[in-house]
Amino acid sequence: MIGPPAAPRPRVRPAAPPRPRPTFAVRFLRTPVAVAGAVIVGGYLLAAGAAPVLAPGDPLAMASQALLAPPGGPHPFGTDQFGRDVASRLLYGARVSLSVSFASVLVALAVGGAAGVAAGYFGGALDGVLMRSMDVIFAFPAVLLAIAIMAAAGTAVWTIVAAIGVVYTPQFARVSRASALAVRGLEYVDAASALGAGTGRILWNHILPNIAAPLIVQTSLSLSLAILTESALSFLGLGTQPPTPSWGNMLAESRRFMALASWTAVFPGAAIALIVLGFNLIGDGLRDLLDPRLRV
């Protein structure tokens, strides 16, 4: 076959590239603390998602022949005072507790993040009004404010989400305001503005990526607080209402029978502690990873 000879490859040896900075995923995987947390949280999410498959039984089905049955056999975590399977209730409870917590932190992140960016970027009177309102929320002990809101607004699922969301909004506002304020004065923002970028574009493309790190850390830490708050509310009878299982109301219901059946009190609390630990581990790991200034 005749044809033009292939052009010889230029034999230029490229200069050894500078060793690329490992990607975020790689650095995350090299942080044992964060990985441990991710494994725990991932495990919970899987378990909650697969609850219908994993659960040994119906979380609401009562069985009069197996009241307060100890762990073992068909009931790996025992049964409660109505003969309901504790393991199944824990799994379905995970769905409730996790989705309420995620939803409420999402609310706090959206509202608080937006308020903080607006306050930090625009400053002036808007800053004053927004941050003073945040100070007001901050002036209440978190659990107390959540209790008060639940007492006034009733115990629907969305009120739980709103109550916990409101309570943790100021932290997000403060974090994002501080970051937006720090970034606002930098040259590249001026440059973008000089090039004719609109406010929305500057906020989205230039401010947001630079405040993402502290917001992510805050999200992880707030998730642990949201889980604790949801379970405290449910424990007090002001959160998720029976018979829908949540870890907090399981613990509350167990109190009258726990002397006879310690497992009904041990497992729900352990479930809360472990997932909270998971979020705290991720939060600590991410903080070391994303915000070197805070590393010690």
Partner 1 sequence: MAAFILARLLTLLPVLCGVSVVVFLLIHLIPGNALQMFLGTQVDMTPAQMDELRRLFGLTKPLPLQYADWLGRIVRGDFGVSLRTGRPVLPDILARLPVSVELTLLALVFALALALPIGIASAIRRGTAEDAAIRVGGLIGLSIPNFWLATMLLLFLPGRVLPIASIGVYVRFFADPVGNLTVLALPAFSLGVVLTAVLMRFVRSSLLEVLGQDYVRTARAKGLRERLVIDRHALRNALIPVITVVGFQAGYLLGGTVVIEEVFALPGMGRLALNAIAQRDYPVVQGVVLVIAMLFVLTNIVVDVLYAYVDPRVRYR
Element (H, E) at 116: helix 86-122
Question: Between residue 261 and residue 280, which ones bind partner 1 under the rule CB under 8 A?
Answer: 262, 265-266, 268-270, 272-274, 276-277, 280
**Shortest Å, Cβ 142 to partner 1:** 6
In the list 48, 109, 216, 238, the residue contacting partner 1 (rule: CB under 8 A) is: 238
| 83 C-beta neighbours (distance < 10 Å), count | 17
Closer residue to partner 1, CB minimum distance, 75 or 174: 174
Closest CA to 229 of 135, 138, 165: 165
SS (H, E, C) 69-95: CCCECCECCCECCCCCEHHHHHHHHHH
Query: Taking CB under 8 A as the rule, does residue 136 contact partner 1?
Result: yes
Long-range contacts of 191-199 (CB under 8 A, 24+ apart): none
Query: Taking CB under 8 A as the rule, does residue 255 contact partner 1?
Result: yes
Cα–Cα distance list, 4 to 1, 7, 11, 169 (Å):
10, 8, 20, 69
Q: Which residue type is seen at 234?
A: S
SS3 content of the chain, % helix, strand, coil (to 5): 70, 0, 30
Structure-block tokens of residue 4? 């033009």
Closer residue to partner 1, CB minimum distance, 147 or 161: 147
Question: Between residue 198 and residue 227, which ones bind partner 1 under the rule CB under 8 A?
Answer: 224
* φ/ψ of residue 186, rounded to 5: -75, 155
CA distance 223 to 218: 8
**Shortest Å, Cβ 60 to partner 1:** 23
The count of chain residues that interact with partner 1, using the rule CB under 8 A, is 46
CA distance 249 to 227: 13
Query: Taking CB under 8 A as the rule, does residue 141 contact partner 1?
Result: yes
**Shortest Å, Cβ 106 to partner 1:** 22
In the list 38, 98, 100, 147, the residue contacting partner 1 (rule: CB under 8 A) is: 147
In the list 232, 286, 289, 290, the residue contacting partner 1 (rule: CB under 8 A) is: 232
**Shortest Å, Cβ 61 to partner 1:** 26
Query: Taking CB under 8 A as the rule, does residue 231 contact partner 1?
Result: yes
Pick the piece of the chain touching partner 1 (CB under 8 A) from 56-64, 100-108, 195-203, 252-260.
252-260
CA distance 83 to 75: 10
Query: Taking CB under 8 A as the rule, does residue 157 contact partner 1?
Result: no
Closer residue to partner 1, CB minimum distance, 147 or 173: 147
- What are the residues binding partner 1 (CB under 8 A)? 132-133, 135-137, 139-145, 147-149, 151-154, 224, 228, 231-232, 235-238, 251, 255, 258-259, 262, 265-266, 268-270, 272-274, 276-277, 280-281, 284, 296
